[in-house]
Chain A
Amino acid sequence: GQSLEQPSEVTAVEGAIVQINCTYQTSGFYGLSWYQQHDGGAPTFLSYNALDGLEETGRFSSFLSRSDSYGYLLLQELQMKDSASYFCACRTGGGNKLTFGTGTQLKVEL
């Protein structure tokens, strides 16, 4: 089967940096995506890594190591609005099917 593991909860203060890790076991791996979901909202796309290395998009960066089946999402200059659930998701197959992890709830405090 396929599985993705993430920490269930992370707490950090406003302005800090936080890293959310994701380890995965899957077959037919194409890449790793990250999605943000606020309570009651729809998941929204943050980033996608197909190759090893770091991808930076504004305050968010995402990293992938295919050999270690590991990735992380790095959030810098945390803001209160970043409080949400963050999901890593493996893309498997040519159709872009996503298998999601159970999510990490990020709480940003003053």
Chain B
Amino acid sequence: DTGVSQDPRHKITKRGQNVTFRCDPISEHNRLYWYRQTLGQGPEFLTYFQNEAQLEKSRLLSDRFSAERPKGSFSTLEIQRTEQGDSAMYLCASSSGTGGSYNEQFFGPGTRLTVL
């Protein structure tokens, strides 16, 4: 068990560019979540997958954001036409659908996005 991994760890981009982040969850976890965290705030829910199905998406998420989990394993989060307000830490988490750790989400180290 190597934990949740995210790539890249840091991304600097210019306003208007598109960026894509990748998350590899713990292998046996069927649930995957994306959160966004800004300085001094708690993580904010963006979207959630169970296997390959995207079951929930935050109303705060604009159409510029899209996420996929094509084979029910890794996931990608794409932001199109980035804005300075998108600058944040993007966190991925995974959890098991059964068992004692059902209520525990395991977080990755995050991708820090800076939009210039």
CB distance from B13 to the nearest CB of A (A): 21
Q: Which interface class (under 10, 10 to 19, 20 to 34, 35 or more) fits A?
A: 20 to 34
- 9 examples of A-B residue contacts, CB within 8 angstroms: A42-B110, A43-B91, A44-B107, A96-B33, A96-B103, A97-B48, A97-B56, A98-B45, A102-B40
In the bound assembly, the distance between CA atoms of A86 and B58 in angstroms comes to 23
Cross-chain contact of B105 among A41, A93, A96, A102 (Cβ < 8 A): A96
Q: Is B31 in contact with A98, judged by CB distance below 8 angstroms?
A: no
Cβ of A103 within 8 Å of any chain B Cβ, yes or no, is: yes
Q: How would residues 97 to 109 of chain B score, 1 for a CB under 8 Å from any chain A CB and 0 otherwise?
A: 0000011111111
Cβ of B44 within 8 Å of any chain A Cβ, yes or no, is: yes
In the bound assembly, the distance between CA atoms of A36 and B95 in angstroms comes to 17
Residues of A at under 8 Å CB distance from B? Answer: 4, 31, 33, 41-45, 48, 50, 87, 89, 91, 93, 95-103
**Residues of chain B contacted by A93 (CB below 8 angstroms):** 56
In the bound assembly, the distance between CA atoms of A33 and B103 in angstroms comes to 8
Q: Is A103 in contact with B110, judged by CB distance below 8 angstroms?
A: no
Cross-chain contact of B103 among A42, A44, A91, A102 (Cβ < 8 A): A91
**Residues of chain B contacted by A96 (CB below 8 angstroms):** 31, 33, 48, 95, 102-103, 105
CB distance from B24 to the nearest CB of A (A): 14
**Residues of chain A contacted by B42 (CB below 8 angstroms):** 4, 87, 89, 100-103
Cross-chain contact of B107 among A43, A50, A95 (Cβ < 8 A): A43
**Residues of chain A contacted by B75 (CB below 8 angstroms):** none
Other A-B pairs beyond A42-B110, A96-B33, 8, CB < 8 Å: A42-B91, A42-B108, A43-B93, A89-B42, A96-B48, A96-B103, A97-B56, A100-B44
Cross-chain contact of B43 among A50, A95, A100 (Cβ < 8 A): A100
Q: Is B41 in contact with A103, judged by CB distance below 8 angstroms?
A: yes
